[in-house]
């Protein structure tokens, strides 16, 4: 993340890495999603997802029926599964940002 990036969201989140739900913070800027795990997790490496690589953001349920999940799919098919509060706001923001990036790409 650069110092000129605007942080739109900085929320508590879990990111599933295999069977572990890694706890931490999810920052969303106009350029990237940055997941920073808490130090106490076994898997403590941060994850950065460039918004230009994102092809799909959608709702998902945790444990089959809990409506608190968000999945982010990037080019190449890799899927990142998050647990977040107020996922609708995050998903709407990301889908709007992705749409704007696609339009800019088509125009230039």
What CATH number has the domain bearing residue 62? 2.30.29.30
Structurally, the chain folds into a number of domains equal to 1
Neighbours of 10 (CB within 10 A): 13
Contact 26, 84 (CB under 8 A): yes
Is 77 within the bounds of a domain? Answer: yes
Say what the pTM is: 0.88
Q: Please provide residue 3's backbone torsions phi and psi, each rounded to the nearest 5 degrees.
A: -70, -15
The verdict on residue 25 lying in a domain is yes
Confidence of residue 99 (pLDDT cuts 50, 70, 90): confident
User: Which band of pLDDT confidence, cut at 50, 70 and 90, is reported for residue 106?
Assistant: low
pLDDT at 62 exceeding the cut of 90: no
Q: Which domain holds residue 56?
A: 7-107
Q: Let me know the angle formed at the C-alpha of 19 by 93 and 51, rounded to the nearest 5 degrees.
A: 25
Alpha helices in the chain (DSSP H): 87-107
- Residue 1 forms part of a structural domain: no
Q: What is the DSSP-derived secondary structure letter of residue 76?
A: T
């Amino acid at each position: 993340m650069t110092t000129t990036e605007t942080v739109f969201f900085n929320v508590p989140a879990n990111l599933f890495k295999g069977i572990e739900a890694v706890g931490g913070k999810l920052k969303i800027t106009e350029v990237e999603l940055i997941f920073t795990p808490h130090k106490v997790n076994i898997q403590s490496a941060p994850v950065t997802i460039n918004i230009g690589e994102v092809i799909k953001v959608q709702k998902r349920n945790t444990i089959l029926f809990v409506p608190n999940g968000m999945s982010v799919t990037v080019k190449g098919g890799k899927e990142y599964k998050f647990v977040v509060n107020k996922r609708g706001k995050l998903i709407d923001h990301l889908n709007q940002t992705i749409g704007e990036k696609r339009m800019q790409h088509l125009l230039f």
